Structure 1
Amino acid sequence: MNRQTRFYALAARYVALLGILLLLSFSALSQTPAKKFSAQEMDEILYHIHTYYVEDLPLSRYNQSNLSSLFDNLDPYSKYLDSEELEAIFSAANGRYTGLGIEVEEQGNYVTIVDTLPNSPAEIAGIERGDKLSLINNIDVTGKTIAEVSALLKAANKNQLQLVVLRGSSAVNIALKRQEIVLESVASKLLKDGTGFLSVNSFNHHTYHDVARQINYLQLQYGDALKKLVIDLRDNPGGTLNSAVAISDLFLDSGTIVTTKGRFFDANQAYFARQGDILNGAPIVVLINNNSASAAEILAAALKDNKRALVVGLRSYGKGSVQSLIPIGNGTTALKLTTARYYTPTGTSIEGTGVEPDVYFTKQALSLLDKSAIITGEESIKKNGIEQLASHWPKAFALVQSQ
């Protein structure tokens, strides 16, 4: 077997089409690898980019001395993964991840907490949405990027972390450790009049089964088939392509779910719904916002374009590319490479533009609809003013049924 054939065989064996799962942020981390590559690794990297990357790049001028500029010319989602980064992706795709359990974004000079994962070290330690990271183990992180902050957190391994966060006008000291977290990707609540509320937080290999299980559980609670369903995809950063396709198929009897297009043969795929709708046609409303990305956008667009659901909220993030994991060397490192772009059932690419909702809600109105409040119970819903917003749902469901 010659080297080119061996490379292709390895790729065929290991390539996993993944919508990248960003648990820290939608911001792309630095693509430039720090390590020096052997001549064989250089050959593999150049071969894979030439063969699989979504765009045809001139590669003849690249060598060991200027390889970093090649990675800088790839899109923000393509990068070299060391063994730890590769393991983290596999863990996340399997519903596990080692870390603090925070979602962050850059706001001004600070990396700011957007949310914490349920039962995570961050939630247990008392980190709150809106906290601004100030110090990590006495190192000032003001003005640092998410990539720099992430590197400091990873460097602590599972040792104790001492954080100082800015909360309003106060500085709060917090001690915690990075730990393995089992990601609960789906939560549900039975609301009034047979309406189910399904909160999908990410798309991993277990999410399809979790969605089906939660819907069955809601119907058992109600004692009958659900009359309506709200699927909340707000702040969902995405996950695996196969998960998004399978979950879309749960609610569709027919039609295209998504198509992918790339330069190599297997990157060109069309995914279609099979007969069988778990809700038997009951109307669906899908909630999205600016942080709904990747696999979440595939689901929202599939249900919208097939006129199966009304999409409500704000325009989504706009990540319309598919990444593949391609092993390097002995398979302990890899390239995460954009190999295709995906297109909605109407043939639209949402890259950079996002999914446009059928009905816009203001950011202020959407912020009232707190996921944790809904999942916790009806009293929390009343206290957070959610019933007022929920009063719009009958009109939304009526619109679904009129399509």
Structure 2
Amino acid sequence: MKLKVGTTAAVAGAFAAGIIVGPLVAAWAQGAADGGRAETYRLLQLFGDVFARVRAEYVEPVQDRDLVENAVNGMLTGLDPHSAYLNPRNFRDMQVQTRGEFGGLGIEVTQEGGYIRVISPIDETPAARAGIRPGDFITHLNGNSTQGMTLQEAVDQMRGERGTSIRLTVRREGEARPLEISITRDVIRPQVVRFRLEGNDIAYIRITSFNEQTEVNLRRAMTTLRQQAGGNLRGVVLDLRNNPGGLLDQAVQVTDDLLDQGEIVSTRARRPEDAQRWNARAGDITQGLPMVVLINGGSASASEIVAGALQDHRRAVVLGTRSFGKGSVQTVMPLGGNNGAIRLTTARYYTPSGRSIQATGIVPDFEVRATRQDAQATAAAAPGREREREQDLRRSLRAEGSATPAPPTVTLPPLNLPASITDRVQSQPPEGWPTLDITKPETDFQLQQGLSLVRAMAANPQRRAQR
């Protein structure tokens, strides 16, 4: 079959540009296969017409690549909040984030007053060794002012090849003159798993994201905490609050580490044959210790998979507030010719009991607010609208799709915790509770409730027998 193209000057100009021939032919062929040949061809003519008119008539010259990339990105972002086009630079940045290591200084930064402010240097990194401190303001990079720079621009300048140097000008409280600090970049591995002992017998583990380093660091954390406790661990608090998610395979591996058997998660795509299911293998790295999982409205995607699986299997008690509700799967598909990649929503997640996470999230077994102000704001707002979640995003997917309807929500079996345990959980902090600061456990009400609950579970023989 010979493909015929339109004869208008606009369409001819678009084809002659050599920009859209491949995509148009592929889309036209798909449209023909679907029986919509005439309509598909008409729409592609529309695209070619607009492309050529903008290219020829826009008030300033525009690059063909910019036009095509904008068109592709608009096509994807119009589908749902999580599909998007990644240009070559953004694609490389995404790969750096998922690898969990990059060349840089080892500083967590934010933007304040137009300058770059240090939140914290990461332990055992060039920044920490050079004496960078929390609260420092970085005013210049290699002599160039950071005033007016975006945070991403500053981060891009501080990252670089291992062994290369950069000069930071730093203003520090109590210092009359700016400090000039030269730092040599090294390979940085962000601390995605933080841990400590609480009261010498409870393992507190916080997972901040799921990249390629998460599961191995979780195992190291458990080994270290066992050694620090002298083999006397009595429980685990797994903190997934404000964890935006990350790699599916890491969520599966982390959950596998905490379960002895059973389904972890399943995904359902447009075609039934593309459905997938992951199951746990024998081996619980906590050896069945009582566990509490902390979640909140910032817990999304991979963190919801972990919390949902542990809740469904009654392996852990989930405490906090309802999670974000991002239950869709995004597949990153690289494009040839150094054209970046597309991130496309291809499936939905389901917990072991068949619950769809999408737009619903994980409802905790015990709802505990971080502050009294949270509870008051919730009471004043419409039910379920206390903070923005997946369901509030424009074009967010429904919990079920027409091609692969979700199974009905399964009611979980009761926890069967004795009243002596459940009575310990309060829904909100008492009057006068300190202002929340998650870096200070004594001001973190959700954490304190989680510690109280896991200790009560550890002290209850009936609960331990159920493990």
Q: TM-score range by the shorter chain?
A: 0.5 to 0.7
TM-score, structure 2 normalization = 0.58
* Counterpart position of 1:87: 92
1:38 aligns with 2:19: yes
Q: CA RMSD in A?
A: 4.6
Cα shift at 1:289: 1.8
* Counterpart position of 2:196: 189
Kindly provide the amino acid, as one letter, of the partner of residue 217 in structure 2.
D
TM-score, structure 1 normalization = 0.66
SS of the equivalent of 2:224 reads helix
Cα shift at 1:212: 1.0
- Does the 8 A contact of 2:73 with 2:84 survive in 1? no
* Counterpart position of 2:237: 230
* Percent identical residues: 32
User: Over alpha carbons, which structure has the higher Rg?
Assistant: 2
Q: Distance in 2 between matches of 1:293 and 1:316?
A: 6
Q: How does 1:195-344 map to 2 (within 5 A)?
A: 195-224=202-231, 226-264=233-271, 267-330=274-337, 333-344=340-351
**Unaligned 5+ runs, structure 2:** 1-16, 32-38, 52-70, 138-143, 172-177, 372-428
Kindly provide the amino acid, as one letter, of the partner of residue 357 in structure 1.
P
Q: Distance in 1 between matches of 2:27 and 2:18?
A: 12
SS of the equivalent of 2:244 reads coil
* Counterpart position of 2:368: 361
Q: Distance in 2 between matches of 1:213 and 1:112?
A: 33
- Does the 8 A contact of 1:208 with 1:243 survive in 2? yes
- Of structures 1 and 2, the one scoring higher in RCO (CA 8 A, sep 6+) is 1
* Counterpart position of 1:393: 451
Deviations 1:158-192 (A, max 9, x none): 69899999xxxxxx999999996421211221222
Q: Distance in 1 between matches of 2:188 and 2:25?
A: 34
Q: Distance in 2 between matches of 1:303 and 1:333?
A: 36
Answer with 59-68 or 224-233: which moved more. 59-68
Q: Distance in 2 between matches of 1:229 and 1:248?
A: 14
Kindly provide the amino acid, as one letter, of the partner of residue 80 in structure 2.
D
Rate the CA distance shift 1:111–1:44 in 2: closer, same or farther, 3 A: farther
Rate the CA distance shift 1:259–1:96 in 2: closer, same or farther, 3 A: same
SS of the equivalent of 2:306 reads helix
Cα shift at 1:40: 5.9
Rate the CA distance shift 1:250–1:114 in 2: closer, same or farther, 3 A: farther
Cα shift at 1:69: 3.9
* Counterpart position of 1:78: 83
- Does the 8 A contact of 1:137 with 1:161 survive in 2? no
Rate the CA distance shift 1:157–1:189 in 2: closer, same or farther, 3 A: closer
Q: Distance in 2 between matches of 1:267 and 1:114?
A: 45
Q: Distance in 1 between matches of 2:274 and 2:146?
A: 47
* Counterpart position of 1:96: 101
* Counterpart position of 2:122: 118
Q: Distance in 2 between matches of 1:243 and 1:223?
A: 29
- Does the 8 A contact of 1:161 with 1:176 survive in 2? yes
Rate the CA distance shift 1:139–1:216 in 2: closer, same or farther, 3 A: closer
Deviations 1:52-105 (A, max 9, x none): xxxxxx976354535554233121211111222111122111112468855879
SS of the equivalent of 1:354 reads coil
SS of the equivalent of 2:333 reads strand
Cα shift at 1:229: 0.5
Q: Distance in 1 between matches of 2:119 and 2:197?
A: 24
Rate the CA distance shift 1:40–1:91 in 2: closer, same or farther, 3 A: farther
- Does the 8 A contact of 2:297 with 2:323 survive in 1? yes
Q: How does 1:150-169 map to 2 (within 5 A)?
A: 150=152, 154=156
- Does the 8 A contact of 1:81 with 1:336 survive in 2? yes
SS of the equivalent of 1:250 reads helix
Kindly provide the amino acid, as one letter, of the partner of residue 358 in structure 1.
D
- Does the 8 A contact of 1:41 with 1:329 survive in 2? no
Cα shift at 1:352: 2.5
Kindly provide the amino acid, as one letter, of the partner of residue 324 in structure 1.
T
Cα shift at 1:42: 2.8
- Does the 8 A contact of 2:118 with 2:134 survive in 1? no
Kindly provide the amino acid, as one letter, of the partner of residue 286 in structure 2.
L
Among 351, 358, 369, which residue is 2:358 paired with?
351
Q: Distance in 2 between matches of 1:225 and 1:44?
A: 66
Kindly provide the amino acid, as one letter, of the partner of residue 215 in structure 2.
Y
Cα shift at 1:335: 1.0
Select the structure that is richer in strand: 1
Kindly provide the amino acid, as one letter, of the partner of residue 118 in structure 1.
I
Cα shift at 1:390: 2.7
**Unaligned 5+ runs, structure 1:** 1-35, 51-57, 142-147, 166-171, 374-380
- Alignment length (residue pairs): 336
Cα shift at 1:116: 5.7
Cα shift at 1:258: 0.8
Cα shift at 1:37: 8.7
Kindly provide the amino acid, as one letter, of the partner of residue 390 in structure 1.
Q
Rate the CA distance shift 1:195–1:83 in 2: closer, same or farther, 3 A: same
Q: Distance in 2 between matches of 1:356 and 1:339?
A: 25
Cα shift at 1:39: 2.9
* Counterpart position of 2:402: none
Q: How does 1:121-132 map to 2 (within 5 A)?
A: none
Deviations 1:306-351 (A, max 9, x none): 1000111122222111111112123662111111111112222222
SS of the equivalent of 2:195 reads strand
SS of the equivalent of 2:249 reads helix
Cα shift at 1:113: 8.9
